[in-house]
Amino acid sequence: MKNMISMRDLSKKDILHLMEIAAKIEDGEIVPDLKGRLAALLFFEPSTRTMFSFDTAVKRMNGSTIIMSGTKNTSSKKGETFADTLQTIAQYSDIIIMRTPVEGAARYASEIVNIPVVNAGDGANQHPTQALLDLYSIMKTQGTLEGLKVGLAGDLRFGRTVHSLAQALSLFGVQFKFISPSFLQMPEYIKDDLEARKIKFTELDDIEGNIDDLDILYVTRIQKERFADPEDYENLKGSYILKKSMLDNVKTNFKVMHPLPRVDEINTDVDDTKYAYYFPQAKNGVFTRQALIAILLGEV
Ligand code: CP
């Protein structure tokens, strides 16, 4: 691995290797040392978990970070191009971790700098490091990634996390339920790819009554910021909400996951149930991001 741009770039073997390294880092069996190494975190879009967990991951390995959170106080306001900004930051750092609203921007960045680039989210396209922590969370809670039944619910159209996760889980013989309003269905290019590889999925429009046979329900926020017409968002907001009362007949191993942030799609009465896993899931982001950075920088 030279960069981490898309889940499509990783094989099953790559993923399992990264999971193993993450588990050893969590257990303290491997302690990568990034002393003297510097990661540049360039966030052109807002973030809480991804930015701070990458920052935490680097610092836990004795490395240091420089952080750009928005472009307000940077020379892009004077007209500096994206390419010039990246080539400049690459002079100071050993790895670039970047989030932008532009699909394909991380791939482009990886082609113009000579240090590793990590895609921390590019528009509605991909969020591969979220998928890695999601896989790690599924592995921890289910003991395997193979042959599970997984529901992906919510904004499957604009939600980059579910695009990356569907592609990743498809390598492990997972059966999917895609649960969303029709306007927010999974993009055709992902469904076409699943069909071509004979991965089973069904499309449904309601959570209620459709989760009792699942191992994992992965809920996502409606991505307000990606709607061209605000009226479409107003019509769809609040259209699905997971409540504690819907969990009476779920399997004992069942877990509710969410990349967060949530708006109202998981009622807070779910938080205290044994099924809620979204906050431990966020914590797992540190271990998986430590593993990824250590691999990309040749420290493991
Ligand atoms: N899950 C996730 O990407 O969260 P942030 O937008 O807070 O980074």
Domain ranges for the chain: 7-126+284-296, 128-282
Between 36-45, 114-123, 235-244, 283-292, the lowest mean confidence (pLDDT) is in 235-244
The residue nearest atom 3 of ligand 1, judged by CA position, is 50
Architecture label for domain 7-126+284-296: 3-Layer(aba) Sandwich (3.40)
> What confidence tens digit (pLDDT) does each residue in 52-78 have?
999 999 999 999 999 999 999 999 999
Q: Is 69 in the pocket of ligand 1 (CB under 6 A)?
A: no
Q: For residues 6-17, give the mean pLDDT.
A: 96
Positions annotated as catalytic residues are: 49-50, 78, 99, 127
Q: Is 223 in the pocket of ligand 1 (CB under 6 A)?
A: no
> What confidence tens digit (pLDDT) does each residue in 175-205 have?
999 999 999 999 999 999 999 999 999 999 9
The answer to whether 221 and 155 have CB atoms below 8 angstroms apart is: yes
Written as six digits, the tokens of 49 are: 């978990």
Written as six digits, the tokens of 125 are: 């396209």
Contacts of 196 (CB under 8 A, 6+ apart): none
Ligand 1 pocket test target in 44, 45, 50 with most atoms within 8 Å of CB = 50
Q: For residues 244-270, give the mean pLDDT.
A: 97
| Percent of the chain clearing pLDDT 90 (strictly above) | 95
pLDDT greater than 90 at residue 1: no
- Tell me how far the alpha carbon of residue 126 lies from the centroid of ligand 1, in angstroms: 12
Beta bridge partners of 179: 153, 204
pTM assigned to the model: 0.96
Q: Is 53 in the pocket of ligand 1 (CB under 6 A)?
A: no
Q: Is 279 in the pocket of ligand 1 (CB under 6 A)?
A: no
d(CA 130, CA 137) in angstroms, rounded, equals 10
**Do the domains 128-282 and 7-126+284-296 match in fold?**
yes
d(CA 182, CA 179) in angstroms, rounded, equals 9
- Tell me how far the alpha carbon of residue 48 lies from the centroid of ligand 1, in angstroms: 6
pLDDT of residue 11: 96
Ligand 1 atom nearest residue 260's Cα: 1
Instruction: Print the SS3 string covering the chain.
Output: CCCECCHHHCCHHHHHHHHHHHHHHHHCCCCCCCCCCEEEEEECCCCCHHHHHHHHHHHHCCCEEEEEECCCCCHHHHCCCHHHHHHHHHHHCCEEEEEECCCCHHHHHHHHCCCCEEEEEECCCECHHHHHHHHHHHHHHHCCCCCCEEEEECCCCCCHHHHHHHHHHHHHCCEEEEECCHHHCCCHHHHHHHHHCCCCEEEECCCCCCCCCCCEEEECCCCHHHCCCHHHHHHHCCCCCECHHHHCCCCCCCEEECCCCCCCCECHHHCCCCCECHHHHHHHHHHHHHHHHHHHCCCC
- Tell me how far the alpha carbon of residue 256 lies from the centroid of ligand 1, in angstroms: 17
Considering the domain 128-282 in this protein, what is its CATH number? 3.40.50.1370
Mean pLDDT across the chain: 96
> What confidence tens digit (pLDDT) does each residue in 150-164 have?
999 999 999 999 999
The answer to whether 43 and 71 have CB atoms below 8 angstroms apart is: no
| Percent of the chain clearing pLDDT 70 (strictly above) | 100
Q: Is 130 in the pocket of ligand 1 (CB under 6 A)?
A: yes
pLDDT greater than 90 at residue 239: no
Q: Is 261 in the pocket of ligand 1 (CB under 6 A)?
A: yes
